[in-house]
Amino acid sequence: MSSATKRLIVIPAVIVLVLYPFKKTLVPAQEVLVTTKDMHPIGHALVRQIWRDYSLEFDGHEEDLPTDIHGRVTFPTRTIRACLLWRLIGPLTSIAGQGVHASFGVHTVMFPLANKDAQISTEVVQRQPGEIWYWLESEN
């Protein structure tokens, strides 16, 4: 194979590899349980999830989801697509824009919100392995 033929194969392959938007998982799927201190589930409670990859994104994301009648809610996996070139340049733009206050990588937070429609059940639930648990004080 001649050197010109190799270049015709290698150069487009490298360009595709550098510019292809590979998928990256930012936050795995998360199961949440919201109860009172004595494990009574709170239905229709809102739980907020906030996430952002400071190395790849300029803005963050947030989603509020209500719990079901058993006090549970599942947040889906959060992903992003970014090419290798942006994965190299993105952190530099963060430094250029934020200076010494720049952040890098994935930051995520989750917490329950006050909701007037929340309902405390009389049933008692058990936590499942891997479940994130929030307990709230009842207003009785």
Buried residues in 108-138 as b, exposed as e (16+ CB within 10 A): bebebeebeebebeeeeeeeeeeeeebbbee
pLDDT band at 130 (very low <50, low <70, confident <90, very high): very high
Q: Give residue 140's pLDDT.
A: 54
**Residue 99: inside a domain, yes or no?**
yes
Q: Give residue 139's pLDDT.
A: 63
**Residue 64: inside a domain, yes or no?**
yes
**Residue 14: inside a domain, yes or no?**
no
Domain count, the chain: 1
Find the domain containing 46 and state its range. Answer: 23-136
**Residue 58: inside a domain, yes or no?**
yes
pTM of the model: 0.85
Please, which residues have CB within 8 angstroms of residue 64's CB and are 6 or more apart in sequence? Answer: 46, 47, 48, 113
Residue type, 43: G
Rounded mean pLDDT of the chain? Answer: 92
pLDDT tens for each residue of 14-65 = 998 999 999 999 999 999 999 999 999 999 999 999 999 999 999 999 999 9
**Residue 96: inside a domain, yes or no?**
yes
The answer to whether residue 111 scores a pLDDT higher than 90 is yes
